[in-house]
A and B are shown apart, each in its own frame.
Chain A
Amino acid sequence: SAVISQKPSRDICQRGTSLTIQCQVDSQVTMMFWYRQQPGQSLTLIATANQGSEATYESGFVIDKFPISRPNLTFSTLTVSNMSPEDSSIYLCSVGVSSVYNEQFFGPGTRLTVL
């Protein structure tokens, strides 16, 4: 298993500002992912954070809006840029584990409210 921490755990931000969310893992992992969960909805994959190269974004998500960094195998950041109320969501970091199940472990999430 992997222990994942996220900072901040929650934040309230003003429209037009940006917020950077940090994700720290207690062991080196190859695969790190960022998800968005809008209120009352399921999880949607934003991007796969690749170490040493640009993130791979899913359809509907772009680097200018959600820049991602992955400087090493234990850390990643997601920035939500030029925020609007529609960005109010839980943002979850997860890691893929090479195990019998190849499950994903998730961080505790960051609850973002944009006013």
Chain B
Amino acid sequence: AQKITQTQPGMFVQEKEAVTLDCTYDTSDQSYGLFWYKQPSSGEMIFLIYQGSYDEQNATEGRYSLNFQKARKSANLVISASQLGDSAMYFCAMKNYGQNFVFGPGTRLSVLP
């Protein structure tokens, strides 16, 4: 069965510094996608970045990058130059072909001024 693990319930980072949010996954499938979502206190889920299992390069989207280590089954999110508005819950998720999304437990990020 698919499973997502996020071992950091909460993280703190100083404004303008970089932070890495951990995500490991478990699947026996070869084809899958990995996603990161941000959930501010307002409750909406915002799609941030995607990494395909066959992608050879790490995904990047602006200040977000994904450190994909397939052999280790990890897909860590790196946020560079943290901003106060980055304070939120962050969820790692996986989707295997023909199956539903599976979400991790989330990491609460707090950016300190």
- A residues near B, CB below 8 A? 33, 41-43, 45, 48, 58, 90, 92, 94, 101-109, 111
Contacts and interface: CB of A to CB of B under 8 A. Distances in A.
A90 B43 contact: yes
B104 A92 contact: no
Interface string B82-113: 00000000010001000011011110000000
A42 B45 contact: no
A92 B45 contact: yes
B43 A108 contact: yes
B35 interface: yes
Identify whether the interface residues of B are mostly helix, strand, loop, or mixed: strand
A42 B50 CA distance: 19
Given A42-B105, A43-B91, A103 B100 contact: no
A106 B103 CA distance: 14
A105 B103 contact: no
